[in-house]
Structure 1
Amino acid sequence: MIKNILLVGVGGQGTILTSKIISKGFVENGYDVKMAEIHGMSQRGGTVTTQIRYGEKVYSPVIEKGTADIIIAFEKTEALRFLDYLKKDGILVINDYEIKPFTVGIGMSEYPDNVLEKYKSSVDNVHFINANKIANDIGNSKVMNIVLLGKLVKMLQLDDIDWKKIISETVPKKAIELNIKAFEVGYESN
């Protein structure tokens, strides 16, 4: 059985690093894994998506619309762009955090109101987490992505993988302790 994970965010949020950690964890535990990443002007605050497919044998990294088992949105409006990728009984995890695009700043567009309420009314299995606040509370907002990783691992019950080891092998040495803490706090979050 193949599982599909879609991570969506804004450039600079650590979406790709998180995907690499997830993929490495799956590979080290015997899964066939395919990952694709899309950088939409990511250095300028544009959308970044990564698609991860894992299972016994995976032939393509591409997640088709309506087939994502889980979507992790690193920014709350990014999920709106990709909601049609979520399967009917899929899980949506949203970081209750907003990054207003440049076009909002110059008055060309408006940031949508009541976004979280829209998700509640359109998705049966939706979960919210303020990963940015959690990351700030433990010392650095840059580990927001690892807080979300912890939440993902718990949601998908992926406890048979040594995530702390993989995080330790992937992040810079000086950041290992903080990233492990971020993972643990994300895992324990409700």
Structure 2
Amino acid sequence: MVKSILLVGVGGQGTILASKLLTTGLMEAGYDVKMSEIHGMSQRGGSVSSQVRYGDKVESSVIEVGGADILVSFEKMEALRWLKYLKPDGKVVVNDYEINSMPILSGKFDYPTGILEELSSKVPTKVVHAAKRAAELGNPKVMNVILLGTIIRSMGLEAINWEKIIGDNVKAKFKELNLKALTAGMDLV
């Protein structure tokens, strides 16, 4: 059985790094894994998505509309943008975090209100405060690893040796911080 995880966010949030760590862990656990990423205007704060599919045999890296088991959104407006990709019985983990796009920054549009309420009215939604938790850990850059932790717990992937994955893929001086962030994320869901 193939599982599909859709990670979405805004350029600079570490969405791609989180998906690469996830993919590495899944591969080391023996799954067949396919990953694809769309950067969009990621260097300028544009939409970024990463699709990770894993199981015994994965034919395609692409998650079709209505095909994601879980949607993990690093920024809350992106959750609404990608919601149509969620399975009818899928779930959403959304970071209660706003990044203003260029049209909002230029004053052409206002940031939409009621996003979390709209999501919750449509699908099972877990709202997390990953930015706040990262700040409590002393480094806002580990928000992505906190959100990775929410995926691990939500998908039942705790048995994978994440300490090794983190140790092999981050600088040694940041290993302990990232392990704390991973645990913090798992504790949020």
Say whether 1:160 aligns with 2:159. Answer: yes
Paired AA for residue 168 in structure 2? E
1:67 maps to which residue?
67
When normalised by structure 2's length, the TM-score is 0.98
When normalised by structure 1's length, the TM-score is 0.97
Q: Distance in 1 between matches of 2:27 and 2:37?
A: 17
Superposed counterparts of 1:1-190, under 5 Å = 1-123=1-123, 125-190=124-189
Q: Distance in 2 between matches of 1:144 and 1:104?
A: 23
- Give the CA deviation at 1:114: 1.0
Deviation track 1:63-101 (CA, whole Å, cap 9, x = no partner) reads 000010000000001011110000011010000000011
Paired AA for residue 165 in structure 1? K
Q: Figure out how many residues of one structure are paired with residues of the other and give that number.
A: 189
Paired AA for residue 20 in structure 1? K
Q: Distance in 2 between matches of 1:24 and 1:36?
A: 13
Q: Distance in 1 between matches of 2:21 and 2:178?
A: 12
- Give the CA deviation at 1:28: 0.5
Q: Distance in 2 between matches of 1:156 and 1:60?
A: 20
SS of the residue aligned with 1:111?
A: coil
Identity of aligned residues (%): 54
Mean Cα displacement is larger for which, 169-178 or 74-83? 169-178
Q: For structure 2, list consecutive stretches of 5 or more residues without a partner in the other structure.
A: none
Aligned Cα RMSD in Å?
0.8
Q: Distance in 1 between matches of 2:70 and 2:188?
A: 17
- Give the CA deviation at 1:105: 1.1
- Give the CA deviation at 1:9: 0.2
Deviation track 1:93-133 (CA, whole Å, cap 9, x = no partner) reads 0000000112101111221011111011111x110100000
Q: Distance in 2 between matches of 1:143 and 1:159?
A: 19
- Give the CA deviation at 1:171: 1.3
In the TM superposition, structure 1's runs of 4+ consecutive aligned residues that sit over 2 Å from their partners are none
SS of the residue aligned with 1:77?
A: helix
Paired AA for residue 81 in structure 1? R
Paired AA for residue 161 in structure 2? D
